[in-house]
Structure 1
Amino acid sequence: MYSTASAQTPKSQNHISNWPPPMAEFKQDKTNVASGMALNDDQIYQWITELVSSPNREKALLELGKKREQYDDLALVLWNSFGVITVLLEEIVSVYPYLDPPNLSASASNRVCNALALLQCVASNVQTRGLFLSANLPLYLYPFLSTNARQRSFEYLRLTSLGVIGALVKNDTPEVINFLLTTEIVPLCLNIMEISSELSKTVAIFILQKILLDDQGLNYVCTTFERFHTVASVLSKMVEQLSSTVTANGLGNQHAQQGIQGQTPQPSSSNSSGRLLKHVIRCYMRLSDNLEARKALANILPEPLRDGTFSGILHDDAATRRCLQQLLSNISELGV
């Protein structure tokens, strides 16, 4: 059975964009094929010079951010160019004083998010990811993830910071999960899953799901009842919120009714709710791989996941329907 010892929040290591929404990068595993090499683009070096040693830094941040999808070696150029990472960190820490009390302007938020977009580029690259971790760079983002302010400037900041962490975890690298588990990322993601916008919630639970899919991550969450209960409680709240949304908007049977009437299901707000629900179900499913967690889930799994509340939203998502069926099968095997 679970230990009743208090779960300790993991201690952090030494603290020292014109960009696309992060979810666009998580929908597929394929890497965009670069049309050339940043190494051979003189304009890249011009903007790097502007970034490091001129008053035109804000423009340079924006222009370099535009090149992220064009060159898959941009991360290497950024990492190995003198002063670039220092400048990006300088941009990040410059807004710390505006986090508490919350007083971050839209322009300041946009500027630091452009710097974060370049860090995301470094975090995404297989050749620079390990260096990114060795330098403890993710820890610079945690003050942004810790904010609870609801203003748009803070929401954008949280979302962009989540995009950097999401870029780290999307390739299922054990080294990344091991690093994150020594930090406060799990409680930070859980808090965002409770208080942020739906898009930020979706990226945060994507990160949690990736952590759980790694054996280290599953063991970390299930080591004590307190950790498991904290995660399960947040997931349960998300299910209740999604259930309320389905009921209020009539999304539960929308696709089913359209199917009965021979209509083609139309895009609706169920799409975003469906994405969030998919991650919730997969997190529960992964938790059920742990025997003690499975026993607990048999008693506490939210009723909307059992009674068909989400059948309409999942109408066109066979993979998630199968995942939910397997989850229910797993907990029913215990005879509860």
Structure 2
Amino acid sequence: MYPDGKPEYLYQMRMSTQPSPASANVDREKIYQWILELTNPDTREGALFELSKKREVVPDLAPMLWNSFGTTAALLQEIINIYPAINPPTLNAHQSNRVCNALALLQCVASHPETRSQFLLAHIPLFLYPFLHTVSKTRSFEYLRLTSLGVIGALVKTDEQEVITFLLTTEIIPLCLRIMESGSELSKTVATFILQKILLDESGLSYICQTYDRFSHVAMILGKMVLSLAKEPSARLLKHVVRCYLRLSDNPRAREALRQCLPDQLRDTTFNSCLAEDKSTKHWLTQLLKNLDTPGNGADQQVGISPLASQ
């Protein structure tokens, strides 16, 4: 403890985190003070609110949070304190806003290259999974699920192998699939983005296509989403669905299965209006259909995934 009563680690943060141009207009002393206040239950709520607003303009906020004494424990305490409110579902707007501010700070830590590996090694994402299990349609729960998905989305956005390797050891795929089937449009979009990123990794594609059950579950949910999009179009959601299908078509056994079970709506003119203004999705869909129309070779005939896997 230094003479002015402030902990030594705050002085170390001052020495190691020089202000960048983007954060030049931010009062650093206030940032340090709010971080200190996170460890005090009486001042934590206000500090969560203020820091969550500043996370986009303080580039080094993540290492400051992660390396300050007691801060991560305080954020996890905010998450754990909400568990009793999710079953039975009694979560109110105030509770949801407060825990989502804590989640926003964890997303900041998950996004930063200096703290991401440690974030995974500590298995922090697992604390969020109970929120992804919830099914209540109220705004409080939807906001909670969406913000939790945002933390996972921030991890996969980096395209790092260690992130996919970690997620494949967890239940994130079935959790995302359930949200893709029954969530709001925005939650569906983020969940499908996470699945897309997992599929784009070689280990993720191999994992999903390794067994009949895994592939069939993914194909079934994607098929349901296409049917839903045909009734209520969403260009941004369609983009991720098509990209998932295209990536699945890179696997020989999955490609053979998709020849039999790809929804007709992706082959006809159902989505022409969406595709007219989205060249990338149109290109991906054209490539997908080209992949599926290419005659099968020996690899496509391997026994493993049934051609009717999604039925």
Q: Which TM-score band applies after superposition, normalised by the shorter structure?
A: 0.7 to 0.9
What residue is the counterpart of 2:143 in the other structure?
156
Structure 1 residue 224 displacement after superposition: 0.4
* Alignment counterpart, residue 90 of structure 1, candidates 54, 77, 90: 77
What residue is the counterpart of 2:196 in the other structure?
209
Q: How does 1:118-157 map to 2 (within 5 A)?
A: 118-157=105-144
What residue is the counterpart of 2:97 in the other structure?
110
Percent identity over paired residues: 60
What residue is the counterpart of 2:235 in the other structure?
274
What residue is the counterpart of 2:273 in the other structure?
312
Letter of the 1:139 counterpart? L
Aligned partners of 1:295 and 1:334 also within 8 Å = no
CA distance, structure 2, for counterparts of residue 58 and residue 172 of structure 1: 33
What residue is the counterpart of 1:65 in the other structure?
52
Aligned partners of 1:119 and 1:164 also within 8 Å = yes
SS in 2 for 1:53: coil
Aligned partners of 1:39 and 1:77 also within 8 Å = no
- Residue deviations 1:14-48, cap 9 Å, x none? xxxxxxxxxxxxxxxxxxx8613799811111111
- Relative to structure 1, is the Cα distance of residues 90 and 54 closer, same or farther in structure 2, using a 3 angstrom cutoff? closer
Q: TM-score, normalising length from structure 2?
A: 0.87
What residue is the counterpart of 2:217 in the other structure?
230
What residue is the counterpart of 2:227 in the other structure?
240
Deviates more, 1:93-102 or 1:326-335: 326-335
* Alignment counterpart, residue 188 of structure 1, candidates 175, 185, 192: 175
How many residues get paired?
A: 278
Letter of the 1:64 counterpart? L
Aligned partners of 1:102 and 1:149 also within 8 Å = yes
CA distance, structure 1, for counterparts of residue 228 and residue 201 of structure 2: 27
What residue is the counterpart of 2:248 in the other structure?
287
Deviates more, 1:39-48 or 1:153-162: 39-48
Structure 1 residue 320 displacement after superposition: 1.1
Q: TM-score, normalising length from structure 1?
A: 0.80
CA distance, structure 1, for counterparts of residue 62 and residue 167 of structure 2: 21
CA distance, structure 2, for counterparts of residue 199 and residue 34 of structure 1: 33
| Alignment root-mean-square deviation, CA | 1.6
Structure 1 residue 54 displacement after superposition: 5.2
Structure 2: runs of 5 or more not aligned:
1-19, 297-306
What residue is the counterpart of 1:100 in the other structure?
87
SS in 2 for 1:52: coil
Aligned partners of 1:144 and 1:157 also within 8 Å = yes
Flag as ranges the 4+ runs of structure 1 deviating above 6 A: 37-40
- Structure with the higher helix share, 1 or 2: 2
Structure 1 residue 53 displacement after superposition: 2.3
SS in 2 for 1:126: coil
SS in 2 for 1:94: helix
What residue is the counterpart of 1:257 in the other structure?
none
